[in-house]
């Protein structure tokens, strides 16, 4: 029953992705590569000169290799999201409807990657060593509006494969639920704390962080559901 339910959820995730606020962080790149593969294949079918044909064949191989990698990331991310929604649909729903202080929906992009990837090692090198990272900045035009890798009104979560992914995602979802509606105040707090207070703890995890208690409550609620899921 569980496998069947998860399979259905994965299909629903794919069908509803354009309307959901929680999105697969590899969907746009996957679609772009699919278009490039079609266009390059069409050019090859037009019987180009031998030299041009070899160049196109090389390009097509490179695109297909990249596509295989992105498709793998896409499928793993889709499965992670579907499993999480199956375990805790209430938390998933809250995150999918998260609004900023002005009442605008903020899209949450999730990227599930190998910990040796350039993307993950960038965060661990530039920030701190963790299982997952939530990246967001305030828009230059409006400090209440989130921006990230995926554009305006977005926030991005990057999770490393093989690090208790479901609990890590719950933790990052808690960050999202707190940061998005409180972005302006929270960014100010982080800048003030970093400049004025000698604290070496990671963002969102120190004793004086205003989001700390909220995040712990979300984590505890998910952990209880996760334990029941494992028992079943």
pLDDT at 1: 34
pLDDT in tens, 123-152: 888 777 789 999 999 999 999 999 999 999
Asked if residues 178 and 186 have their Cβ atoms less than 8 Å apart, the reply is: yes
pLDDT at 125: 85
- Name the nearest CA neighbour of 171 among 190, 162, 158: 158
pLDDT at 208: 60
Cα–Cα distance between 125 and 116 in angstroms, integer? 12
User: What percent of the chain is predicted at pLDDT more than 70?
Assistant: 83
For residue 106, pLDDT beyond 70: yes
pLDDT in tens, 178-223: 999 999 998 888 777 655 444 333 454 555 667 888 999 999 999 9
The pTM for the full model equals 0.83
Cα–Cα distance between 73 and 25 in angstroms, integer? 9
pLDDT in tens, 7-44: 333 333 433 344 468 999 999 999 999 999 999 999 98
Q: DSSP label at 202?
A: P
Average pLDDT value over all residues in the chain: 85
Q: What are phi and psi of 181, to 5 degrees?
A: -75, -10
Q: DSSP label at 182?
A: T
β partners of residue 137: 147
Cβ-based neighbour number of residue 41 at 10 Å: 13
Q: What are phi and psi of 103, to 5 degrees?
A: 85, 15
Q: DSSP label at 147?
A: E
User: Is the alpha carbon torsion for 181, 205, 21, 151 positive or negative?
Assistant: positive
Cβ-based neighbour number of residue 28 at 10 Å: 14
């Amino acid at each position: 029953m569980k496998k069947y339910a998860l399979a259905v959820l994965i299909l629903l995730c794919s069908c509803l992705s354009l309307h959901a606020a929680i999105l697969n962080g590899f969907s746009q790149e996957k679609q772009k590569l699919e278009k490039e593969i079609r266009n390059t294949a069409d050019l090859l079918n037009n019987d180009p000169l031998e030299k041009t044909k070899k160049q196109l064949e090389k390009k097509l191989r490179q695109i297909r290799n990249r596509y295989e990698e992105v498709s793998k990331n896409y499928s793993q991310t889709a499965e992670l999201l579907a499993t999480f929604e199956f375990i805790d649909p209430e938390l998933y729903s809250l995150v999918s409807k998260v609004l900023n202080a002005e009442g605008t929906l903020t899209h949450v992009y999730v990227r599930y990657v190998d910990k040796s990837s350039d993307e993950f090692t960038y965060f661990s090198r530039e920030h701190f060593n963790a299982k997952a990272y939530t990246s967001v900045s305030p828009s230059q035009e409006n400090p209440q509006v989130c921006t990230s890798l995926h554009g305006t009104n977005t926030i991005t979560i990057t999770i490393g494969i093989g690090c208790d992914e479901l609990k890590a995602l719950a933790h990052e979802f808690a960050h999202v639920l707190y940061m998005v509606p409180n972005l302006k105040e929270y960014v100010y707090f982080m800048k003030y704390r970093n400049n004025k207070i000698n604290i070496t703890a990671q963002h969102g995890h120190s004793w004086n962080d205003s989001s700390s208690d909220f995040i712990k409550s979300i984590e505890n609620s998910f952990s209880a559901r996760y334990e029941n899921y494992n028992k079943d």
